[in-house]
Structure 1
Amino acid sequence: MVRVVHREQAEISMDYVNQPDGSTRNGSGKRSELRPAAGEKLIRVVAVSFGLLCVLQAAANITLRLVLHTQTSDKDVTVEIDKLRRLYDQYFQQGWVYLHPSFYYISTTEKSWQASRDDCLQRDADLVIINTKEEQDLTRQFQRLTWIGLRNETITRQWTWVDGTPLTKSYWGPGEPNALAGDNEYCVEIRFKKEDSWNDRLCSAENFWICEKNVTQKIK
């Protein structure tokens, strides 16, 4: 009995001393894992620190790009403002009137509708297109019979602006358009002082005219 006990104890002692994989056995013979070595802990700390450093570097790069983009945009805006200022001075000296976002020129002579438009085109503009109530109010302030950029297309029989867009909002005077001169009243003039001031008229008649130029479209 004594020899057997000693032999078993010796075998158990040998198991603890000669473990090849760095693990231990408990009383049931199962292995229990050892805690990570100090070297493994250091590697994990370095890996985590490097990952955080990469994240911070990426954030810094993004911030720098945003700053540079903002500075470039601000510079471009300043250049555009300088261009607009020079154009404003030039147009004001030539007698143009400004209402955002366009300049308007009222003629000092009278011509037919087509001759009036030709004059506007030579000024790098076109006959006025009235898109808003503010523009309608502006055109009435000149207190002259003036051509605007609206006509009746003989093919479509529709009132169309000079840029090709159809008429949607109108300011016809009472009973207008009435084509008193027959089917030849294809052009539109500002006639009345009140808000509804449009009148259809023979295109060959002579009137003053209003040119419109959108300055923001001229800057490239």
Structure 2
Amino acid sequence: MAVVFKSRGSEVSIEVGEYEHFPKHEHGDITEKTLAKSRHVNVFLVGFGLLCVLQAILNITLRLSPGNKEEVCPQGWLHFSFSCYYISLQRKSWDNSRQDCLQRDADLVIINSRQEQAFLTGFTKMAWIGMSDRDQEGIWIWVNGTPVNKDRLEWAPGQPDGAFGGEDCGDIRTMMNFIGLNDSNCSVRSQWICEKTVR
């Protein structure tokens, strides 16, 4: 069986047909069977990969496209669970980022679960989030005053490390071999993520 994928714009078509059978050589019979099995596995893997990509596109489309239901988040914000998220395109210090969120009737994001962290991972290489250990070194607190449960979230390798004489503000990173929560100098200019609960 032959499977051919063709893509034109947002349209994907799949053609299924039969392989042409060629006479088998006696000494190559085992090799041909192995190659045939390998082809079937490759076709399956390509098909499965394509389905995963299509599912991801569908998820993003459904998340961003207006539906018949009333919009729960302001325009330009993303919706996940019971929150709306604004991901900045500008870069500011942690304090200035938080001020921007407050002006939007929101605050820097508080990450409550690994699922929420997974949702927020990948939108930027680095973005400020609503945690700091300014009051007491090593004791991380969210902007709403609750402690950060370090074991419940995914930290980047070796973080937090308080490097360079003090890194008291938290960000979320998505870099090669450095993915997760991180501590950074509060004056660094970075993008940020605001969060407000759905009303």
Compute the displacement of 1:192 (Å).
3.0
Identical residues among aligned pairs (%): 45
Name the count of aligned residue pairs: 128
Q: Cα RMSD over matched residues?
A: 2.0
Corresponding residue for 1:188? 170
Structure ranking higher in helix proportion: 1
Any gaps of 5 or more consecutive residues in structure 1? 1-83
Compute the displacement of 1:156 (Å).
7.0
Aligned equivalents of 2:71 and 2:158: distance in 1? 45
Which amino acid in 2 is paired with 1:116?
A: S
Q: Report the 3-state secondary structure (helix = DSSP H, G, I; strand = E; otherwise coil) of the residue aligned with 1:138.
A: helix
Which amino acid in 2 is paired with 1:136?
A: Q
Structure-1-length-normalised TM-score: 0.54
Which amino acid in 2 is paired with 1:148?
A: I
Change (3 A) 1:214 1:174: same
Equivalent in 112, 118, 133 of residue 131 of structure 1: 112
Compute the displacement of 1:154 (Å).
2.2
Structure whose alpha-carbon radius of gyration is higher: 1
Contact 2:128 2:170 in 1 (8 A): yes
Corresponding residue for 1:201? 184
Q: Report the 3-state secondary structure (helix = DSSP H, G, I; strand = E; otherwise coil) of the residue aligned with 2:119.
A: helix
Aligned equivalents of 2:189 and 2:153: distance in 1? 22
Which amino acid in 2 is paired with 1:152?
A: D
Equivalent in 121, 125, 148 of residue 140 of structure 1: 121
Structure-2-length-normalised TM-score: 0.59
Corresponding residue for 1:163? 144
Aligned equivalents of 2:125 and 2:194: distance in 1? 14
Aligned equivalents of 1:124 and 1:144: distance in 2? 25
Which amino acid in 1 is paired with 2:153?
A: S
Contact 1:101 1:214 in 2 (8 A): yes
Q: Does 2:165 match 1:173?
A: no
Compute the displacement of 1:133 (Å).
1.5
Aligned equivalents of 1:162 and 1:98: distance in 2? 20
Aligned equivalents of 1:213 and 1:164: distance in 2? 16
Any gaps of 5 or more consecutive residues in structure 2? 1-68
Contact 2:114 2:153 in 1 (8 A): no
Q: Does 2:70 match 1:85?
A: yes
Contact 1:137 1:195 in 2 (8 A): no
Contact 1:136 1:195 in 2 (8 A): no
